[in-house]
Structure 1
Amino acid sequence: MKAAQWMGPKDIQLGTVPKPMLTAPKDAIVHITHCTICGSDLHMYNPDMKMAMEKGLILGHEAIGIVEEIGPEVKNLKPGDRVIILPVIACGDCFYCKNKEYSLCDKTNPSQDMEQLYGHRLSGIFGYSMLTGGYPGDQAEWCRVPNADLVCVKAPKNVPAKKLLGLCDVTPTAWHGNELAEVRKGDVVGVWGCGAVGLSIQRLALFRGAKKVYAIDKDPQRLALAEKYGSIPVDVSAHKNVADYILGIESHGLDRGIEASGFRSTNSVAHKVMRGIFIEGDSSDTVSAIIKATRKGGNIALIGDFFFTTNQFPIGALMEKAITLRGGQLYAQKYFPYLLDITVNNEYDPSFMFTHEDNFESISENYAKFNTHEVPGGLKVCLITEFGRTHPTE
């Protein structure tokens, strides 16, 4: 089968690899129809995560498809079912899964490196480095899905593919950001980042009843999209200090601040230099601005992927202002069937994030375009496999 393989930094190749087989009784084999590239895939595409990569690893954790084969212990799926493959591989039985904290699963990630780094292992994730288990991803023509009853969401065949593809990761991640920040009706919310996840957080914050949502970014095209969808755009490049600017128009500050730009986002010379000479893994530029701009007693959520350590973190302001700071990978399974229901009922449409469409075979070129914000329309590409092109479902 064809699959997108990591061969080194900025080197994603469409290779030919063996088709996966059932290896455990709860597995399913899914024939992929559509997949996409995530902003967090760029951590592997760029050198940020090269120490945790293995040459040849199949990337990707956002895909939909048709179930082709199931193991003897799969109860809720059958061949021919259309499914959303969730990115988080959870067991369903451990302490964390029973508390619906699926990305904290104890049993699906064998990485001793992660355990040594953090003190604990988190869940397995498709195509997301050896730190998260080294699972082959779903930027491929087929994917083996462990614990398929929990990791797949059965979906109607008459729903447009882009809506379902948007539900794989981006929409539940955005909902998770709102949950961590405890966004409520009447809140004033600030979201740093206007990529697909940031824009989805903004739209879902308004969906939940937020009074105002500020969209903070420096990409004019993405800021225009944020304004189109109801947010108040704030151009980082136009303001020397974004936190001071926000406090100048919101005297109490933000009720909820959400970081969705990622650890690679740097604004100050100090952090650019520290990252450049490898004395810092993650930058605290945006987090520092969020802490300053958030009101006393407010909430902050970290959704951008932070992995390592940072310098000049304003721990004093965080503590003295009594701010609650939370982060973590999405509890994907927890938010279904609710997110599917509001999509099927046309209360929310996640397909907006796909501003371009292409054949899966062009994935290498699309990685390069995505990395430099050159995807037509400015957001994500929907990649269609040969099977998806010849077997349309909607």
Structure 2
Amino acid sequence: MKALAWHGKGSMRCDTVPDPKIEHPRDAIIKVTACAICGSDLHIYDGVIPSMQHGDILGHETMGEVVELGSETKNLRIGDRVVVPFTISCGECFFCRRGFYSGCERTNPDKLKAEKLWGHSPAGLFGYSHLLGGYAGGQAEYLRVPYADVGPIKVPDGLTDEQVLFLSDIFPTGYMAADFCNIQHGDTIAIWGCGPVGQFAIRSAFLLGAGRVIAIDTVPERLAMARETGALTIDFKAEDVYDRIQDLTAGRGADACIDAVGTEADATGSADSLVDRVKVATFMGTDRPHVLRQAIHCCRNFGTVSVVGVYGGFLDKVPMGSAINRGLTFRMAQTPVQHYLPKLMERIQKGEIDPSFVITHRAKLEDGPELYRTFRDKQDGCIKVVMKP
């Protein structure tokens, strides 16, 4: 089969690789009908994520048709259309039973590596390094889905691939970001990053009752998409974010702040961001947390900071004094997708949201390597890429 494989920093190839096979009775094999490039894939592309190996197949936003089933996978049938969560979860352990599927204790065979870095291991993830299981990803013609009796959800008749594909990751992640904010009717929510996850966080905040959303970015196409749904926007290269949010909130600060950017924040010209870049380049640091620092300062007293942007290691100069003295609440996670899937599928069916709004580029799998560059460099108005093998 054809698949997009990583071959070092900045190098993606469309390779011919062996087809996946059933390896466990709870497996399924799906023929991929749609997959996407995620912003967190760009961290791998840029060489930020550790424990990658040449030839690793990327991709964790995937859906398709079931073509083969293990003997213990009874909830699916050959021919079912399914969306596959990026989190691989057993459904039986301490965390899965409590709905914290992304904390699954059983699905990361490389858990000892993760424990050395993070203290404890999260769940295994599709296409996201040998720190998180080394599972082949879904930017391919076929995908093996472990624990298929827990993860994939059937697609109801009448919904297109493009309407449901993003239930695999970015819609639940954006929704969770807003859900973490404990939004009260009329609240002001500030969101850093108007990429795909940020766009879903904007719409989810409105769905959950926000009165006003402030969206922060600098890419014109992203800011325009945010305004289409009613968000106020701040171009961080054109004005001071803190001062603007103070003006908009009469000096109080936003009720909640969402970091939908993560480790590779672009904060051109800010002193702390320049220092972060030097630290990363000289291996003195692992992440660039400019956005997190700013979100903390822009949040009102006793507000919430929701973090869904990906961070990989240790963060410097995070203003914990501000957070502690002003009573901030922090919420963050890799999304327990299975927890959110049913309720979000229902919202799509009811017509409350059509997730396909975020797609700007449609392509074949063979176009993937070039589109990684286009997406990373924010060229051609690229916000979200969908590939159809």
Q: Give the TM-score band, short-chain normalised.
A: over 0.9
- The alpha carbon displacement at 1:200 in A equals 0.7
**Which letter maps to 1:141?**
E
1:336 corresponds to which of 331, 334, 341: 341
CA contact (8 A) 1:266 1:272 kept: no
CA distance in 2, matches of 1:312, 1:3: 40
1:311 corresponds to which of 303, 310, 316: 316
- The alpha carbon displacement at 1:276 in A equals 2.7
**Corresponding residue of 1:391:** none
Q: Identical aligned pairs, as a percentage?
A: 38
Aligned ranges 1:62-141 → 2 under 5 Å = 62-111=61-110, 112-141=112-141
Q: Deviations over 1:290-310 (max 9, x none)?
A: 111101100011111011112
CA distance in 2, matches of 1:206, 1:28: 37
**Which letter maps to 2:387?**
L
Q: Is 1:360 the counterpart of 2:359 in the alignment?
A: no
- The alpha carbon displacement at 1:151 in A equals 1.3
- The alpha carbon displacement at 1:266 in A equals 4.1
CA distance in 2, matches of 1:363, 1:157: 29
CA distance in 1, matches of 2:309, 2:114: 18
Q: Deviations over 1:102-148 (max 9, x none)?
A: 11111100221111111111000000011110000010110000111
Q: Is 1:349 the counterpart of 2:354 in the alignment?
A: yes
- The alpha carbon displacement at 1:32 in A equals 0.5
**Corresponding residue of 1:378:** 382
- The alpha carbon displacement at 1:168 in A equals 1.5
- The alpha carbon displacement at 1:248 in A equals 2.3
CA distance in 2, matches of 1:299, 1:4: 38
Which segments of 5 or more consecutive residues in structure 1 lack a partner in the other structure? 386-394
CA distance in 1, matches of 2:212, 2:149: 39
Q: Is 1:302 the counterpart of 2:310 in the alignment?
A: no
**Corresponding residue of 1:389:** none
**Corresponding residue of 2:153:** 153
**Corresponding residue of 1:392:** none
**Corresponding residue of 1:249:** 248
Residue 369 and residue 266 in structure 1: after superposition, are their counterparts in 2 closer, same or farther (change >3 A)? closer
Give the structure-2-normalised TM-score.
Answer: 0.96
Task: Report the more deviating stretch, 81-90 or 110-119.
Answer: 110-119
- Structure 1 moving runs of 4+ over 6 Å: none
**Cα RMSD over matched residues?**
1.1
CA contact (8 A) 2:14 2:365 kept: no
CA distance in 1, matches of 2:26, 2:366: 30
CA distance in 2, matches of 1:21, 1:271: 43
Q: Deviations over 1:152-202 (max 9, x none)?
A: 010024312111112211101111111222223221100000001101100
Q: Deviations over 1:216-238 (max 9, x none)?
A: 11112211111112110011001
Aligned residue pairs total: 382
CA distance in 2, matches of 1:222, 1:357: 17
CA contact (8 A) 2:179 2:208 kept: no
**Corresponding residue of 2:9:** 9
Q: Deviations over 1:347-378 (max 9, x none)?
A: 1111011111111221111111111112x443
Give the structure-1-normalised TM-score.
Answer: 0.95
CA distance in 2, matches of 1:42, 1:117: 21
CA distance in 1, matches of 2:65, 2:303: 43
CA contact (8 A) 1:82 1:157 kept: no
CA distance in 2, matches of 1:164, 1:245: 36
CA distance in 1, matches of 2:287, 2:278: 12
CA contact (8 A) 1:166 1:353 kept: no
CA distance in 2, matches of 1:298, 1:47: 34
Q: Is 1:60 the counterpart of 2:30 in the alignment?
A: no
Q: Is 1:27 the counterpart of 2:32 in the alignment?
A: no
Give the match's secondary structure for 1:338: helix
**Which letter maps to 1:78?**
R
Which segments of 5 or more consecutive residues in structure 2 lack a partner in the other structure? none
CA distance in 2, matches of 1:29, 1:284: 39
**Which letter maps to 2:374?**
K
